[in-house]
Structure 1
Amino acid sequence: MKPVERRLLKELPVLRRHTAYATVLALLSAALIVTQANLLATALADAFSGAFSGALSGPASPLAPLALLGTVLGLRALLSWCRSVLAHRAAADAKRTLRDRITGRLRHTGPLRLTAHRHGETATLLTRGLDALDPYVIGYLPTRAATAVVPLTIVGWLAWTDWTSALVVLVTLPLIPVFGALVGLHTAQRTARQWQLLARLGGHFLDVVAGLPTLRAFGRERHQRRVVGEMADAHRRTTLRTLRVAFLSSLVLETVATFSVALVAVPVGLRLLGGSTDLRTALVVLFLAPEAYAPLRAAGAAFHTSAEGIAVAERVFALLDAEETPTAGPAARTPVPDARTAPLHLDGVTVRYPDRAAPALHHVRLTVRPGERLALVGPSGAGKSTLLALLLGFVAPESGRVTVGGTDLARLDPDAWRTRVAWVPQRPHLFAASVVDNIRLGRPDATDAEVRRAARAASADSFVRALPRGYDTPLGEAGAGLSAGQRQRIALARAFLVDAPILLLDEPTAHLDPESEAAVTRATVRLMRGRTSVVVAHRTSLLPHADRIVTVRAGRLVAPEPTWVTT
């Protein structure tokens, strides 16, 4: 068993229960297999020996063995149905648990921690990827449980019935897993390569779709179409090579099993001709020998069909481990200080991303006093957005700490802290829902009157009322149907609705035309009044309204922290 399989069983109780149920059902099935073989052998032996002649008048009806045989066949069908139902339920529960863990981790992990490729890989994992676990849970786990029970039960019965045949079966049984493992090692490598190509294809395709307008503007959409086609062809070729290996494995396992059954059948036939064994015993051996090898052959085939699911599970746990952020245990429940009077302080903070050699922030010291309006300026990539992500708790510092009123931010409940913070990103995301629902995202329990009041404060009420259905107008995904300035004012309306004492603004006037910039600037100034505000600004429209301006370059404050000046 691979480490990832042990981890699946350890962290998913539903799979442990599923394995236990499958083992019990396999034990019952083994008992029914033995019973069926004995009943069928008895019926055939009696038929060949003419035992039925004149027996109709006896106390035992000749139809009794056939009735029992029918009952056994019905019970085996019932066990197979129960095994299928339980397996499908276990697979659905396991996938739901893993999806919840991934989405829960992403919900508590900063968006800056994921690159575009990781977003694509995560999307692939949550959809096509986790569905690949079905063959593992539905096929491989029950079959593996059967391999631990059925062959031993049959060998034990054969030992009591005909010990020489039991010895041959016991010697030849290990041949199937040995040959299966030899082919399986090659299959695992090819399946891992297949999944890597699929994840790469999904990530690249997601990135291309997101940047399609830019690609069209620069005339590069045809090139990307060729790139996606080449990646799809590479995945197709790898998939076909993996299937060829899987088919080869089936051929090898079937051949080994056939020769093993022959090694049992030929001596039994010779002994039957020589008179050293009776017909009933010979038939029992011939019926049970293939059943002893059947679970191992099925396990080999199920292993190859489930190999992709194992590769996906490895990627799932790698993602969860990579995005895991340590918590402070019980200390994480420290009450949040009063954000209206608590200063924000960065004490020697360094932030480093795994995919970058240089730190995003390096030994930054900064204090934001209560009610202060601080503007961060500097070139793109200097670390300004990372500084906001620190204050939001989206990223954790490699060294140093962020404090709120002297309390380490890492010790606070992140959900409770974020209720004190209003965040307006550079490109706010609007969902495929109505305008009122998009604004109400800031406070789900807000009334319609409060939503409209927030929209008026954000200079959004006039254009919203002009929409075909006003506040009930449905928007497309990512706010399709609104201009960039209108989307920004919807985001500001969310912030007004939250009415949090701390405001974080990430270039709210970027990429806007002059008219939209003026409207957003006026709304932003109103929003900053009476709040501790940190504004990332590339344009100068908001700088006159800041109490203090700090320049960030290459992850550092380029000069000692300026003194606090009230305007």
Structure 2
Amino acid sequence: MKPLDPRLLRRAKAARVFLVGSVVIGVATGFFIVVQAVLLAHAIAGVVLRGDGVGRVAWLLVGVVVARAVLVWVQEVVAQRAAAAVKSTLRRQVLEHSLKLGPAWLSGERSSALTTLLTKGLDDLDPYFARYLPQLVLAATVPAGVVGWMATGDLIAAGTVVVTLPLIPVFMALVGWATQAHSRRRQHALAVLAHHFSDVVAGLPTLKLFGRAKGQVRAVREVTDRHRVASMKSLRLAFLSSFVLELLASISVALVAVGVGLRLIDGKLGLETALLVLILAPEAYLPLRQVGAHFHASADGVAASEEVFRVLETPLPERGERTDVPDLRVTPLHLHDVTVRYPGRDEPALDGFDLDLWPGEVVALAGPSGAGKSTVLAAVLGFVLPERGMVIAGGSAADEFTPEHWRRQFAWVPQRPGLRTGTIADNIRLGHPDATDADVLRALADAGAAELAPTQQVGESGQLLSGGQRRRVALARALVTEAPVLLLDEPTAGLDAEAEAEVVSHLRRSGRTVLLVAHRPALLAAADRVVEVGQTSLGLRPSLRSRAGVAG
């Protein structure tokens, strides 16, 4: 585990500002430590040897103590603000990068683990900035200044500190290697726990329906116990390492004190110098001890930041920069020899697929589950890049255009449409923010959902709506757009026959190009053509079954 990851400085400007501020504060702190030690040694020696008063020196000491307190307060404020700024920056960068990576990448990530990383995981950076990094800067500045000043009075004591001081970083490195593994295991246990809870909560209605809800108690308890054990191991390691560092520092200071005492008795060292050395010696070890003490508190945050950088360093798929996308209302769309293979799978999800989609045509994709029908839609949208072949419009490949300009030509309804908290109208206007109330009502009617009120709340992820209602709201959201091409994945699932007939009738009358995934006979019968997606046992390309002229 690196004490300071350079990627953090590159990714977050606030981290660079904070590091510079910490160096300035660390140098000032080292200066005031030396001044305080000099004043204390001078005052005590004056009282013991000369019987001097301490009035003026006492006021100077008060000023130094106040100055050190102010530096600690400034350090805390700067650290907290830097931590908040860095967390905000990293969260924004991860979200933006995840969106650019697209649904294909997100489908391979656990959404609960990613959510935990961006919330609880990055919150663990607070102790890293507020405690660990300031002490790391102090450990790099204070001991050098303290030992240098000690050397002006007692070279032997300074040499003793120089020899014993490196023992603490050595043991810190040994402890750090063990802590790194524990922190990663703890982050993994927390991610598994979050994912398991997410799955249980999502499937709770089904589990309750079949009387299996209580059976999950044991599974949740086992996952929780694994997280508890990982956390307790991290705490045990933290306590043991703190004990080792404290013991090393105490023995080192004792060696300095013994040497100083012997030379003082022999008259080889003055009292004021001896006091100065004894006061400064613990200050040389203190920053390193504090680094070790705060290292464990920051380890979880550092482990989370490493996971963040893993996401941020995932290479983006190569995209074009053209913005002159052909108007698909008058331009055909061609898929030529499209082959898509998902990471970690031996067999391609789509193999050598060909399709010509003409303006105003309704084409249905049929075939067994897993044949690659949804992958066809993903390839058209650019969510996945073909391993071979291409999607062509107006003589140009789709990947030559910027994704945002290309996708404006399409409205998409996936298998599991996503809805956000708010009203039905709010969710429909995601497709067309300027849509009027009349446009919203018309889209609901065209989607076979005229009975739904636009002001009705949908709840988080549409939990206040049934599955069929969520799909109809998503369909209305697609229909309210001005996109010339509709990509629909089972758009009438959950609808009764009458509502389905209304939706099919509207799709036929809309004049838009429609590419839909269908299993239901009514949708297949309404299509101008039905394209069978899937491979035969001989590995042949998908066959094309024409149904031109079939009315809906």
TM-score interval (norm. to shorter): over 0.9
Q: For 1:307, which of 286, 299, 303 is the aligned residue? A: 299
Distance 1:4 1:125 in 2: 20
What are the equivalent positions in structure 2 for 1:336-355 lying under 5 Å apart?
A: 336-355=325-344
Question: What's the counterpart of residue 318 of structure 2?
Answer: 327
- Any conservation in 2 of the 1:550–1:557 contact (CA below 8 Å)? no
1:32 alignment partner in structure 2: 32
Closer, same or farther in 2 for the Cα pair 1:100/1:36, shift >3 Å?
Answer: same
Aligned with 1:532 (options 498, 508, 513): 513
CA drift of 1:564 comes to 8.5
In the TM superposition, residue 116 of structure 1 has moved relative to its aligned partner by 7.4
CA distance in 1, matches of 2:204, 2:456: 26
Aligned residues: 548
Query: Is residue 140 from structure 1 mapped to residue 132 from structure 2 by the alignment?
Result: yes
Partner of 1:410: 399
Deviation sequence 1:220-256 (CA, Å, 0-9, x none): 3223232121011011011101110111000000000
Segments ≥4 residues shifted beyond 6 Å: none
The equivalent residue for 2:19 is 19
TM-score (norm 1): 0.91
- Deviation at residue 305 of structure 1 after TM alignment: 1.5
Q: So what's the TM-score if we normalise by structure 2?
A: 0.94
Seen in structure 2, the aligned counterparts of structure 1 residues 188 and 483 have a Cα distance that, compared at 3 Å, is closer
Match of 1:544 among 517, 521, 525: 525
Structure 1 contact 108–394 (Cα < 8 Å) conserved: no
**Equivalence map 1:256-295=2 (5 Å):** 256-295=248-287
What is the aligned counterpart of 1:200 among 189, 192, 202?
A: 192
Alpha carbons 1:455, 1:493 under 8 Å: kept: yes
What are the superposed Cα offsets for residues 266-289 of structure 1, whole Å, 9 maximum, x if unpaired?
Answer: 111111122211111111111111
2:374 is aligned to 385
Q: CA deviation at 1:190?
A: 1.4
User: Contact 1:376–1:535 (CA<8 Å) still a contact in 2?
Assistant: yes
Matching residue of 2:206:
214
> Is the CA contact (8 Å cut-off) linking 2:91 and 2:118 kept in structure 1?
yes
Residue pair 2:37, 2:280 contacting (<8 A) in 1 also: yes
Match of residue 231, structure 1, among 223, 226, 239? 223
Aligned partner of 1:86 in structure 2 is 78
Give yes or no for contact 2:446–2:502 (8 Å, CA) kept in 1.
no
Partner of 2:163: 171
The 2-side partners of 1:525 and 1:208 are apart by 41
Unaligned ranges ≥5, structure 2: none
User: How much has 1:408 moved relative to structure 2?
Assistant: 2.1
Higher mean C-alpha deviation, range 14-23 or range 234-243: 14-23
Whichever residue aligns with residue 374 of structure 1, its letter is V
Contact 2:374 2:489 survives alignment (8 Å): yes
Q: Distance in 2 between matches of 1:207 and 1:352?
A: 27
Moved more, 358-367 or 501-510: 358-367
**Residue equivalent to 1:490:** 473
Match of 1:124 among 105, 116, 121: 116
The 2-side partners of 1:421 and 1:263 are apart by 76
Secondary structure at 1:348 match in 2: strand
Range with greater deviation from structure 2 (390-399 or 274-283) = 390-399
1:418-567 matched pairs, under 5 angstroms: 418-461=407-450, 463-464=451-452, 470-526=453-509, 529-554=510-535, 558-561=541-544, 565=548
Deviation at 1:22, TM superposition (A): 0.7
Cα offset, 1:137, TM superposition: 2.0
CA deviation after TM superposition for structure 1 residue 411, in Å = 2.2
Q: Secondary structure at the match of 1:549?
A: strand
Q: Per-residue deviation at 1:508?
A: 1.0
Shift of 1:358: 1.7
In the aligned structure 2, how far is the partner of 1:300 from the partner of 1:493?
58
User: Equivalent residue for 1:358?
Assistant: 347
Report the Cα distance in structure 1 between the residues aligned to 2:465 and 2:301, rounded to whole angstroms.
Answer: 42
Superposition pairs for residues 395-406 of structure 1, below 5 Å? 395-406=384-395
In structure 1, C-alpha distance between the alignment counterparts of 2:92 and 2:64, rounded to whole Å: 42
Q: CA deviation at 1:36?
A: 0.7
Larger deviation, residues 169-178 vs 120-129: 120-129
Residue 248 and residue 206 in structure 1: after superposition, are their counterparts in 2 closer, same or farther (change >3 A)?
A: same
Matching residue within 376, 390, 397 for 2:365: 376
d(CA) in 1 for partners of 2:218, 2:347: 34
Instruction: Render the CA deviation track for 1:76-105: whole Å, top value 9, x for unaligned.
Output: 111111111111111111111111122112
Separation in structure 1 between the aligned mates of residue 3 and residue 278 of structure 2, nearest angstrom: 38
Q: For residue 332 of structure 1, give the secondary structure of its aligned residue in structure 2.
A: coil
Shift in Å at residue 554 of structure 1?
Answer: 5.0
Given the superposition, is the C-alpha separation of residues 49 and 332 from structure 1 closer, same or farther in structure 2, using an over 3 Å criterion? Answer: same
Mark the runs of 5 or more structure 1 residues left unpaired by the alignment: 54-61, 465-469
184-193 or 313-322, which moves further after superposition? 313-322
| Structure 2: distance between partners of 1:241 and 1:403 | 57
Work out the CA distance in 2 between the residues paired with 1:481 and 1:177: 57
Identity fraction in percent: 50
Please identify, of 476-485 and 366-375, the stretch whose mean Cα deviation from structure 2 is larger.
Answer: 476-485
Distance 1:336 1:564 in 2: 30
- What is the CA RMSD across the aligned residues, in angstroms? 2.2
SS at structure 2 position matched to 1:481: coil
Deviation of the 1:381 alpha carbon? 1.1
Query: In structure 2, what is the equivalent of residue 252 of structure 1?
Result: 244
Q: Secondary structure at the match of 1:276?
A: coil
